[in-house]
Amino acid sequence: MKTKEGIGAEIQEFQEERIYFDFDKSDLKPEAREVLKRKADWLRRNPGFKITITGHCDERGTREYNMALGQRRADAAFKYLNVLGVSVDRIVTVSKGKEEPLDPRSTPEAWAKNRRAEFKVSM
């Protein structure tokens, strides 16, 4: 049986590991697939938890375009987790578009950090 502290540390690690996307893309890179495999394994071992996947974009492009692209990114992660055996009723997807950057600078490095999907665990 896991301790409250142990599961808390696992949840924190789960949530801190993001996946990243290329410019104007929503397809999963090999590194993202590996991250999602680890997340699927964790979810199978912890069936009482659900997740929210949030898709994000960099600042380039219109708000509307980036909201749709962020949703496609979240949906790509959702679909792959489902292929890996995670039930669709355990996953919610949302898009924040370019509204919540990790790095607010207008540089190639900042843009790369902001093209991501994040994962939040809930009961």
**How open is the CA angle 72-76-81, to the nearest 5 degrees?**
150
**Which residues 6+ apart lie within 8 Å of 28 measured at CB?**
19, 36, 76, 77, 80
For the chain, list the domains and their CATH numbers.
4-122 (3.30.1330.60)
| C-alpha distances out from residue 101 to 39, 42, 76, 104, Å | 23, 27, 20, 6
* Euclidean distance between CA atoms 24 and 85, whole angstroms: 28
Per-residue pLDDT of the chain (123 residues; tens, 9 = 90+): 567 677 899 999 999 999 999 999 999 999 999 999 999 999 999 999 999 999 999 999 999 999 999 999 999 999 999 999 999 999 999 999 999 999 999 999 999 999 999 999 999
pLDDT value of position 6:
79
Q: How far apart are CA 122 and CA 56, in angstroms?
A: 20
- List, for residues 46-74, the tens digit of each pLDDT value: 999 999 999 999 999 999 999 999 999 99
Measured in degrees and rounded to the nearest 5, phi and psi for residue 119 equal -130, 130
- Please, where are the H alpha helices in 1-120? 4-16, 30-45, 63-83, 108-114
With a threshold of 0.75, does the pTM exceed it?
yes
